[in-house]
Chain A
Amino acid sequence: MSIQISTTATAVAAGRPRRRSLAGWAQNGGASTLAFAMPLLLVFGVFSWLPIINSVVMSFQKTNLVKPPTFVGWSNFTYVLSDPLLWTAIQNTAYFAVLALVIGYPVPLIAAVLMSEVRRFRGLFSALAYLPVVVPPVVSVLLWKFFYDASPTGVFNTMLGWIGLGPFPWIQDADWAMPSLVLAATWAGAGGAIIIYLAALTSVPTELYEAAEMDGAGVLRRIWHITLPQLRGVLLITLILQFIATAQVFLEPYLFTGGGPAYATTTVLLLIYNYAFANSLGGNYGAATALSVMLAVVLALFSLLYFRLTRSWSDE
């Protein structure tokens, strides 16, 4: 760390060592420093640190809006863990994550590797790829919901009809619903990953390609043996980030299908929402926080991994 500005300035201005009294502290700018810290302290204190603590406390309490909360031990956790819907939700969330991995993970990588060889209008390529990311998620879901119209004149069914396929039920069928959601989510998110990969691709040392070319490696082998290994760090990061994001998927199941048909798209986050907010008479806040805390512990481990990876690479 470099010089501490405030101390230096005080020493220059006052020409004597710092006083330890409260009045001296205030005179040396301590009070105004605290005033500058207030917005951060208040906003983070009330809207971040306090709810984080509360969530842990509430997961051991029975909370309703009428009576003061009472401690109930682990019963919220046992309630959640014995809810048959929880296992459905975990399965659905895992299914979403796996589908997103199979469909959504390779697409941006392939697109970025191809785009990195583009020599003209590359800005146009990346702008087109990123456009869906800036569309508000609610709009893209509602628009895709219309595209998924199951009748033969639905947008996708019309297009597939041109090559003799369909009509498909899309989000109205329990088997089709989840892949449809993942497809829409991939469309909405791929641009972000493409931009990350494109940036990483520019930092692959060109000498490696030259050396491989001298050794007679063709373009595909260069991509397989140089490009992809050079990207492995970024690939791991996007993998972790994608996992963290898919574990919290909410908007798509909530707006596309409401968790249906037959609970086929009820995810963990949708279950938390339903515990707390679906019942208009007052939610089961204890169960909701217990489940969020359990989910958070799992996700925090992944965040920690992510943080350590990015930290160690930026130190290099």
Chain B
Amino acid sequence: MEFLTLDVILNSLGEVGSTVLYILVGTLLLEIIVYFLWRPLEIFSGLVDRVLKPMGDPVRHGLSTLLLVGVLVFTVASVSVGVEQSPPPWAPYWPLAIVAFLVGAFISPTAPKIFHWQLRLPYMLFAPALVGLLVLVIYPLLWELNVSFTNLNPKHFKAPDFVGLKNYIDVFTTPVLKQVTFFPVFLRTILWTVINVAFHVTGGMALALLLNRKLKLKGLYRTLLVFPWAIPQPVACLAWRGEFHFEYGFVNILLQRIGLPAIQWMTTPFWNFAAMCITNIWLGIPFMMVILLGGLQSIAGEYYEAAEIDGASGWQQFWNVTIPLLQPILTPAIILGTVWTFTNFNVPFFINQNELETSDTLVTALFRSAFQYFNLGDAAAFAFVNFGILLIFAILYIRVTGGLKGATE
């Protein structure tokens, strides 16, 4: 048992401080290395480019892609998964892979474009974050990819077998856990997301409109209304779970006081889903309200005056002045809200106390499959299908809203 003595505080400050220092120093070193490496690389890449020009661009692109893809496959296949799995027979050839990577990188016609002297700064600035992400995100990703092609579970633990695409096929054909298969869970997750975001936006907008005026106690209202966002999510979820209790929760007590029968929130699929939605809506409206309120406050009053002079009614003002001017904020808010709701784990997991399969979203089903049975092969495949769906959504969204525009505007 440790108590908060001065020793403990100083100790932890020391450790934490040294970590921050290490990271900063490491970042600086990395950036310096990149910075000074750029010129030699530029010269080298220019040389290679001149020498290889007769080969023609398409050939070079093709070769380069081939080599790089090969290196990728090699890397994925070399990430060993089982504890007692002997490294694959091609593992000792990793120096070859590095050479292949370098060759593939420099053959490509885009190499000289990258190693341009002007571009040393952006790459240098991005390098530390990139390295950190590569380590912390890429390695787990590759590991999971590898696992998704094996049958890693307690019965095949130390030396799992390669099973190819079997897990991926299973994702779509066999039940995720007991009875429900992929598409119902997927559709339910979409329904969950749409319902929640719709209520978040409408509710947030309504409250923001109400608060967007000279009002006594406005600060107090804003403070209180923000409670759901400031409370840690797990605590809020457990609080709401208690409120949906059949006998003791205030929801049923209220219902009974106004004469309606008490609802079995925890055991009925429909009502359990409703309970999840109610909780998440309660949690999500404050965030929307804050964002939209900020947006509303920055819309200059002149627009409304101009509209009124033109004879627009309140409703028309809303649709034709407020919404369009709010668009730049509304869009990212909606997208963020959608992504966060889709991948929300806490609410469906904790509200669904009785682990009803009918209340699972993709993320909770994945969690149960992975950890309750430690069926990592299946879970990994499932996770990648999930990821693929979201990735397609992300790419489409960026296309539609032009989110990448920036430096040339």
> Are A and B genuine complex partners?
no
B residues near A (Cβ < 8 Å) are none
